[in-house]
Amino acid sequence: MSDSKPSKTMLWGGRFTGGLDPLMVAYNESIYHDRAFYAQDIAGSVAYARQNAKLGILTQDEFAAIEKGFGQVKEEWASGRFEIRPGVDEDIHTANERRLGEIIGTHIAGKLHTGRSRNDQVATDLRMWLREELRKIEAHLVEFLSVVAKRAEKEIDPVMPGYTHLQRAQPIRWAHWMLSFGHQFALDLERLREVVKRVNRCPLGCGALAGNPFGIDREALAQELGFEGIVYNSMAGVGDRDFALEAMQWGSTIMMHLSRWAEDLIIYSSAEFGFVRLADAYSTGSSLMPQKKNPDSLELLRGKAGRAFGQMAGLQMTIKGIPSTYNKDLQESVEPLIDHVKTVSDSIQIATGVISTLDINADAMRKALTPDMLATDLADYLVRKGVPFRETHHISGRCVALAEKEQVPMDTLSLEQLQAIDSRFGPDIIESFDYEKSVEMRSAKGGTSKSSVLEQIAVLKKTLEAN
Give residue 24's pLDDT: 84
Give residue 339's pLDDT: 97
Tens digits of per-residue pLDDT, 126-144? 999 999 999 999 999 999 9
Q: What is the DSSP secondary structure assignment for residue 437, as one 8-state letter?
A: H
> Identity (one letter) of the amino acid at 411?
D
User: Which of these is catalytic: 4, 270, 286, 451?
Assistant: 286
Structural class in CATH, domain 118-367: mainly alpha
**The CATH number of domain 20-109 is 3.30.70.20:** no
- The residues pairing with 400 across neighbouring beta strands, listed in sequence order, are none
- In this prediction the pTM is 0.92
Give residue 4's pLDDT: 47
> Which DSSP helix (H) or strand (E) runs through 369?
none
DSSP, collapsed to helix, strand or coil, labels residue 418 as helix
Give residue 467's pLDDT: 67
Give residue 392's pLDDT: 92
Q: Is 165 among the residues known to form the active site?
A: yes
Q: At what angle do helices 334-357 and 118-154 cross, to 10 degrees?
A: 10
> How far is Cα 273 from Cα 366, in angstroms, rounded to an integer?
11
Is-contact 56 66, C-beta < 8 A? no
Give residue 293's pLDDT: 80
Q: What is the DSSP secondary structure assignment for residue 18, as one 8-state letter?
A: S
Tens digits of per-residue pLDDT, 398-411? 999 999 999 999 99
- Parts of the chain with a pLDDT under 70: 1-20, 285-292, 467
Q: At what angle do helices 118-154 and 38-54 cross, to 10 degrees?
A: 130
> How far is Cα 267 from Cα 275, in angstroms, rounded to an integer?
9
Give residue 169's pLDDT: 95
Length of the chain as a residue count: 467
With the C-alpha atoms ordered 49, 53, 58, 60, is the resulting torsion angle positive or negative? positive
Give residue 286's pLDDT: 59
Give residue 12's pLDDT: 47
User: Which of these is catalytic: 79, 107, 165, 287?
Assistant: 165
Give residue 354's pLDDT: 97
Per the rule left: phi > 0, alpha: psi between -120 and 50, beta: everything else, 115 is left
- Provide the residue ranges of all domains of the chain, joining segments of one domain with +: 20-109, 118-367, 371-433
DSSP per-residue letters across 119-165: HHHHHHHHHHHHHHHHHHHHHHHHHHHHHHHHHHHHT-S-EEEEEET
> How far is Cα 453 from Cα 445, in angstroms, rounded to an integer?
9
Overall fold of domain 371-433:
Ribonucleotide Reductase Protein R1; domain 1 (1.10.40)
DSSP per-residue letters across 259-314: HHHHHHHHHHTSTTT-SEE--GGG-B--SS-TT--B-HHHHHHHHHHHHHHHHHHH
